[in-house]
A = this chain, B = another copy of it.
Amino acid sequence: MTRALQGHPAVRDETRRKVEAAARRLDYRPDHIARALVTRTSSTVGMLIPSSVDSFWGEVAAGIEEAASEANYSVLFANSHSQPERERRMIEVFLAQRVAGIIIAGAAGESASWFCGEEPDVPVVIVNWDAAFPARFVPIVRTGSPQRVLKAVRAATETDASFSQIVFDDLGGAQQVVRHLVSLGHERIAFVGAEPIRPSLLRVLGFRSALLEAGLPLGAIVSSPRSPEGGFQATQDLLTSPPDDLPTAIVAYDDATAIGVIRAVHAHGIDVPGAMSVIGFDDIEMAAFSEPPLTTIRQPRREMGRMAMASILSSIRGESAQRSSVLPGELVLRRSTGPPPGR
């Protein structure tokens, strides 16, 4: 009987119709739970994001949910708050729920095996690996040979065969940003918001390499938490340099930091972008509404979510999907960048 409802080929039309009529009459709803029990896999995926309050992750989540919904999958959701222990715990819960796959966004765990012990029995995909590094990494990234640093960062977030990664091209994004500033004529460029997490290290690295490529000296690299307050404080410090050493442009780790940077620059009576260009990263919602609106690099957030879900689905179907995608950003020109003063 139940065959009739699933569109099994070997069921006469007449029978199917009768069954369907009866089903409707009793308003029968097939039980996903029972089905999952016998098929030993559910049509549910687990989604872990750092914080649903953050519209960045909210949009990644929206991409995941869209793609899942189109494929008739449901998504279980939890916030990790970027805490590796919480990540592990929620993954445990997902596994007990017999999810068909797990998407870890903004992964804070240190390595593949961190998440699921040895070999996870479901496909796992990571969207933007934000793993923390020991703080001693920051100075190394500032001074070490780029090749060595890159190798270290990559190695530390290496994915084993059972994992996929959908990550943003932090390194390339930072290069785009610097090239944009260089093309405007800037020669003294600082970086604000270095932190010992993977994307920050890669952005610093991209910053350095693009400067090198342009034949410009390495500007200041200031560490700070990634928040408006962090950017504000760090920039206050930066602006105490003697006037001749002051940069004419500041690359912020992300848009939130950039907003703090602009506030601090304004607080010193310096015009943006007249006397100081500021550029962000991510293109969060607020970027378009800051004063002045922020030039930034847009991450294809929704697309990243969709790709993550697509990767899960193809793993489920047994196609061994592309292990790792690095998505390029897009420079969004707004009004926080311009030529340096005196050009």
Contact = CB atoms under 8 A, between A and B. Distances in A.
Contacts of A98: 31-33
A69 interface: yes
A179 B61 CA distance: 40
Interface in A45-74: 47, 51-55, 58-59, 61-62, 65-66, 69, 74
A230 to B, nearest CB: 14
B76 A77 contact: yes
A199 to B, nearest CB: 21
A310 to B, nearest CB: 18
A259 interface: yes
B44 A53 contact: no
Nearest to A78: B65
A85 interface: no
A286 interface: yes
Nearest to A95: B29
Interface in A86-104: 90, 92-93, 95-98
A287 to B, nearest CB: 10
A75 B77 contact: yes
Given A97-B32, A289-B290, A75 B78 contact: yes
- Most chain B Cβ neighbours within 10 Å, of A30, A97, A117: A97
A33 B37 contact: yes
Contacts of A53: 55, 58-59, 62
14 contacts: A27-B117, A31-B37, A33-B37, A37-B37, A51-B62, A52-B59, A52-B61, A53-B55, A55-B58, A65-B79, A285-B286, A286-B286, A289-B290, A291-B291
